[in-house]
Chain A
Amino acid sequence: MQSMFHPAGPVAQRIASLGWLLLAVCIVVYVLVMLVTLWALLRRRPVAEDVPRTTRRLTRTVMIATVVTAVILALFTVSSVVAGRGLASPTGPGAITVDVIGHQWWWEFQYRDVTPSDFVTSPNELHIPVGVPVHLKAISRDVIHSFWVPNLLGKRDLIPGQVTNTWLQADDPGIYRGQCAEFCGHQHAHMAFVVVAEPMDKFLAWIQHQRAPATGPASDEEKHGHDAFMHSTCVMCHTIRGTDAGARLGPELTHIGSRMTIAAGTLPNTRGHLGGWVANAQGIKPGVRMPPNPLNPDDLQAVLTYLGSLR
């Protein structure tokens, strides 16, 4: 569930605690003010000779209320500064660093390595190990986007030409949905991603698998799909490592068969959805950068088989 009130990590926990504190205090203050207002409306007016005594009492009440207000505001200030400092830097050393790249309208997560051939690019799916801080270096390739995983951290803007450093940590394994939180054009609403938090050994196995280039086409159908891919519009924008396709305009497809969603969290990754997407993405996500592709039916089916085999 995508909710800031169900924090799954220390960053979101601090934000949620601060939110609850503000909410609780404000509810108490609101109820008190309403009660006092009601009492003032209903009480009997004082008789004329009592006025000086009433005024003295009033002055004392106003002073007490002012002091209480000042104390509450000071408490709010201190707690929000403390929460803000807690968000600024991780509690322990960072386990991994992930580059977050915002595009219209999809996310690219890059895992760097000392060996350039071991770089891993995972579009729209951020895998992280559980229980350790993960550093994020966020940048945008076109307009301002905002990285937001309500269960894990607050919004962080991605500014073109400027690196935004932030961090997150998931304490419970699970799948958390994230969403672009800064209006970025036609398909801003369909710019989602998932964060997959898993134990360290499973994470390492995942990244080891992602490092491998695409396996060559095994069957005749896959071979047909591979050739159709390389000879059509697909190859102008997409990368499949281990083949001739190396363009970097669209998401990398080296392991597309292993991903949960397509089109930045818009559709589940099934053969039918992928077919509709490849044939006419504009019918699903109008304005998306992927053009309608005039593949003939045989080629389209073969391309789908080939893409499905890229696990």
Chain B
Amino acid sequence: MCRWSWGLAIGASVTLLATACQREVRPFQDLTVASDRAQRPTLSSISPGSPSPAPAPAFSPYQNNAYATGEGKRLFDAFNCSGCHAHGGGGMGPPLMDDEWIYGSQPANIFETIVEGRPNGMPSFRNKIADQQVWELVAYVQSMSGQEPIDVLPSRSDHMRYSTPENARRAEVPKQTGTP
């Protein structure tokens, strides 16, 4: 009886270990969904006639992907986003680690902000950053205010930095402010 139950317990643990492990996939190039105009969000709340503008789709190819978020963090410095946004705290540009979102907090909104630019200084990176890298940056921008699961958020930096690591920050609840 005792031996039998031990065997069962060990068998169950091994099965659990083998099946519970969900390995993250690193997609390097299958970004077919990238950026059709039809899937992109509208930039204005005003539209002619009766239909209301479609809300921004919540889709991002790198949702919940720790590798892509880490790559985004690297690119955030490499492409000098930090030059205006500091490391999320803001400077010449608005802070990105707080709960205020001027142009929408959905991944598609952030994609649009990077690709098309925004008034008052955000440049348009259209044709200058490949879609794949824009989505990686989107994933990192989301992670700065904790909009990703904690196991996805970056925990360390490659360089000296005094700010709290992304996975140790308070997760903010996005709030639409609408004032640039």
Which of A's residues lie within 8 Å of B, judged by CB? Answer: 142, 231-233, 235-237, 249, 280, 282-283, 286-287, 291-294
Contact = CB atoms under 8 A, between A and B. Distances in A.
Q: Could you say which of B28, B78, B127, B132 has the most chain A C-beta atoms within 10 Å of its C-beta?
A: B28
A213 to B, nearest CB: 23
Given A142-B158, A249-B78, A287 B26 contact: yes
A287 B132 CA distance: 12
17 contacts: A142-B158, A232-B128, A233-B127, A233-B130, A236-B79, A282-B28, A282-B29, A283-B29, A286-B28, A287-B26, A291-B133, A292-B29, A292-B31, A292-B130, A292-B132, A293-B130, A294-B131
Nearest to B128: A236
Q: Could you say which of A232, A236, A237, A294 has the most chain B C-beta atoms within 10 Å of its C-beta?
A: A236
Nearest to A291: B130
A123 B79 CA distance: 21
B130 A294 contact: yes
B78 A291 contact: no
B129 interface: yes
Contacts of A237: 78
Query: Interface residue tally of chain B, by bracket?
Result: 10 to 19
Contacts of A287: 26, 28
A249 B29 CA distance: 20
B176 to A, nearest CB: 31
Contacts of A231: 127
Contacts of A232: 127-128
A158 to B, nearest CB: 15
Contacts of B78: 237, 249
Interface string B1-40: 0000000000000000000000000101101000000000
A235 B125 CA distance: 12
Contacts of A236: 79, 128-129
A291 B158 contact: no
A278 to B, nearest CB: 11
Nearest to B127: A232
Nearest to A285: B28
Contacts of A235: 128
Given A142-B158, A249-B78, A292-B132, A280 B29 contact: yes
Nearest to B78: A249
